[in-house]
């Protein structure tokens, strides 16, 4: 439902953004100056926070690759690194895209090749169909992995006797490999943390480096996300949900999806923008760790939500507690990225679509960017 609402919102955002200004002018009403500047984005975010009872959170607006607004409320501070949960998937996917451009992988590489050395170490999957799953199928959540997330189900038992401060790819691959696939690979879209956990291991084998340092040095630092790192307390979530950085740093990273940005090479960009084999409905498809709606100008709109709630008492690391949501959206036609972090996590019906709609309308209304 969120995906379909996002698609509809994206299709109408341009018109709604213009209609506010045009109708106000036709009626002889002065349009508030802040509604035509980045202040308008800040104001609708603060209004949304109040409406949905959130007192702690942060906002960043990046326009033309440059941070033009950073704001924070409550216990969050401007520039403070925050966990981004599933927004981490885009970091992993862009890192994989770089390996493809360098010829170390292809979108059609099967796991039997991409993880040959790893499987020799941790063992073969019980379902031989997993060996034929391709990098492309993992990227777009079409690997046939069960909807029940096999990457997270054993986590509580593991964390009672092991730290969450290490990535532990081999251990988590073992959890995934002992399950049979729920569907034939390539047949249907099922969102999965497990698929992106596997991609993290693929990155390590293809690069010969640890996942964090390789993606940080080849993707995040060149894009200006200098404070990005795996969350020290939750490195176990690594490639599917483990990154933390300031909202502005994530906005800078999201500039990778701007047309011509060298972070995504021509081969990977063409693959990303094609909906073939990636559709999820409403004119939307899933690409490099983000939802995508191609647009006539600006190279498309991109967005993703992330959230994590966890409460485990008496774990190996002590009491583990986390609750937050994160949202990133890129409006290609106006070359603008907006990133929001909020604590605690938003529940179902917690205003996700309203935030998307109001931020989009405010960004479209801006006439004077800093």
The mean pLDDT value of the chain amounts to 92
Q: Is 318 exposed, middle or buried (0-12, 13-18, 19+ CB in 10 A)?
A: exposed
17 pLDDT exceeds 90?
no
- pLDDT of 130 reads 98
- pLDDT of 33 reads 65
Among left, alpha and beta (phi > 0; psi -120 to 50; other), residue 314 is: left
164 pLDDT exceeds 50?
yes
- 198-236 per-position pLDDT tens digit: 999 999 999 999 999 999 999 999 999 999 999 999 999
16 pLDDT exceeds 70?
no
101: which residues sit within 8 A by CB, 6+ positions away? 265, 267, 268
What does residue 181 show for φ and ψ, rounded to 5 degrees?
Answer: -65, 150
CA distance 157 to 45: 39
| 31 or 350, higher pLDDT | 350
pLDDT band with cut points at 50, 70 and 90 for residue 32: low
- 237-253 per-position pLDDT tens digit: 999 999 999 999 999 99
Residue (of 241, 215, 214, 199) closest to 82 by Cα position: 241
77: which residues sit within 8 A by CB, 6+ positions away? none
| 20 or 271, higher pLDDT | 271
| Torsion 366-367-368-369 (CA) sign | positive
- 103-148 per-position pLDDT tens digit: 999 999 999 999 999 999 999 999 999 999 999 999 999 999 988 7
User: Following DSSP, what letter does each residue of 293-320 receive, concatenated?
Assistant: E--SSTT-EEEEEEEEEEEEEEETTEEE
Interval 322-346 mean pLDDT: 98
Token digits of residue 266: 């021509």
CA distance 36 to 364: 9
- pLDDT of 60 reads 98
Question: What superfamily does domain 2-365 belong to in CATH?
Answer: DD-peptidase/beta-lactamase superfamily (3.40.710.10)
- pLDDT of 174 reads 96
| 340 or 150, higher pLDDT | 340
Expressed in angstroms, the distance from the first to the final Cα of the chain is: 35
User: How much of the chain exceeds pLDDT 90, in percent?
Assistant: 88
What Å distances lie between residue 114 and 109, 198, 306, 368, CA to CA?
A: 6, 10, 27, 48
pLDDT band with cut points at 50, 70 and 90 for residue 13: very low
- pLDDT of 35 reads 75
CA distance 1 to 282: 10
- pLDDT of 153 reads 87
pLDDT band with cut points at 50, 70 and 90 for residue 22: very low
30 pLDDT exceeds 50?
no
Order of strands, sheet of 301-315, starting from the edge strand that comes earlier in the sequence: 66-73, 56-63, 336-343, 318-331, 301-315, 291-293, 284-286, 279-281
- For the chain, count helices (H), then strands (E): 14, 11
| 173 or 24, higher pLDDT | 173
User: Following DSSP, what letter does each residue of 111-175 receive, concatenated?
Assistant: HHHHTHHHHHHH---SSGGGGG-BHHHHHTT-S---SS-TTTTTHHHHHTTS-SSS--HHHHHHH
Determine the angle formed by the axes of helices 169-177 and 193-207, rounding to 10 degrees. 130
């Amino acid at each position: 439902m969120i995906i379909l609402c996002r698609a509809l919102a994206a299709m109408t955002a341009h018109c709604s953004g213009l209609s506010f200004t045009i109708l106000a002018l036709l009626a002889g009403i002065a349009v508030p100056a802040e509604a035509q500047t980045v202040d308008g984005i800040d104001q609708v975010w603060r209004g949304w926070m109040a409406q949905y009872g959130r007192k702690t959170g942060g906002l960043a607006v990046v326009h033309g690759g440059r941070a033009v607004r950073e704001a924070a409320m409550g216990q969050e501070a401007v520039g403070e690194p925050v966990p981004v949960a599933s927004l981490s998937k885009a970091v992993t996917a862009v890192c994989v895209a770089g390996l493809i451009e360098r010829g170390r992988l292809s979108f059609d590489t099967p796991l039997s090749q991409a993880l040959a050395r790893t499987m020799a170490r941790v063992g073969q999957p019980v379902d031989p169909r997993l060996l034929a799953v391709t990098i492309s199928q993992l990227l777009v959540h079409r690997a046939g992995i069960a909807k029940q997330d096999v990457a997270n189900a054993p986590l509580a038992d593991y964390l009672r006797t092991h730290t969450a401060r290490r990535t532990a790819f081999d251990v988590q691959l073992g959890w995934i490999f002992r399950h049979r696939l729920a569907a034939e690979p390539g047949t249907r879209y099922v969102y999965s943390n497990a698929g992106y956990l596997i991609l993290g291991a693929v990155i390590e084998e293809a690069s010969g480096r640890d996942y964090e340092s390789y993606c940080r040095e080849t993707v995040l630092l060149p894009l200006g996300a200098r404070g990005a790192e795996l969350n020290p307390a939750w490195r176990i979530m690594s490639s599917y949900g483990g990154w933390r950085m300031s909202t502005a740093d994530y906005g800078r990273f999201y500039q990778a999806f701007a047309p011509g940005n060298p972070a995504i090479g021509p081969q990977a960009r063409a693959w990303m923008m094609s909906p073939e084999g990636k559709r999820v409905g409403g004119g939307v498809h899933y690409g490099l760790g983000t939802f995508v709606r191609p647009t006539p100008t600006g190279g498309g709109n991109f967005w993703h939500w992330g959230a994590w709630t966890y409460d485990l008492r008496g774990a190996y690391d002590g009491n583990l507690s986390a609750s937050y949501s994160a949202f990133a959206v890129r409006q290609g036609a106006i070359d603008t990225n907006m990133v929001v972090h909020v604590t605690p996590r938003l529940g179902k019906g917690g205003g996700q679509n309203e935030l998307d709609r109001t931020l989009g309308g405010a960004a479209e209304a801006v006439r004077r960017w800093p």
